[in-house]
Amino acid sequence: MNRIAIAILASLLSFTTLAETVTIPIGQQGAENQAIKRPKQGQSMVKVESLFGQPLEKTSPVGTPPISKWIYNDFSVYFENHIVIHTVIHQTQPSTSGMSERTTNESN
């Protein structure tokens, strides 16, 4: 019984030694995304639509105050009533074709 426990412990410890830690300084995280033009906090829905066009998708307002979201190719815009409160750049992930694809892990 003792030998089995030692064997299991040894095999588990060997898995942890195979891991690699990659550290990216905070100032360099997402640096390539900073050039993406996106709405600024305080802009109206009308202004956002005039600058960026129709979004791919619009969510209905939820809660009090009403919060809604517009989804564009590169970013999502969050509104309180009709004013921008936040934008989120979609995460860039490499594809199998070698081109970058933007995805988002947000849930509605």
Q: What is the pLDDT of residues 44-92, one digit of tens each?
A: 999 999 999 999 999 999 999 999 999 999 999 999 999 999 999 887 6
pLDDT tens digits, residue range 84-104? 999 998 876 655 554 445 555
DSSP class of residue 59 equals P
CA distances from 39 to 56, 63, 78 (A): 15, 22, 10
Alpha-carbon Rg for the chain in angstroms: 22
Q: pLDDT at position 38, please?
A: 92
| Confidence band, pLDDT 50/70/90 cuts, at residue 108 | very low
Query: Nearest to residue 77, comparing CAs of 35, 28, 40, 107?
Result: 40
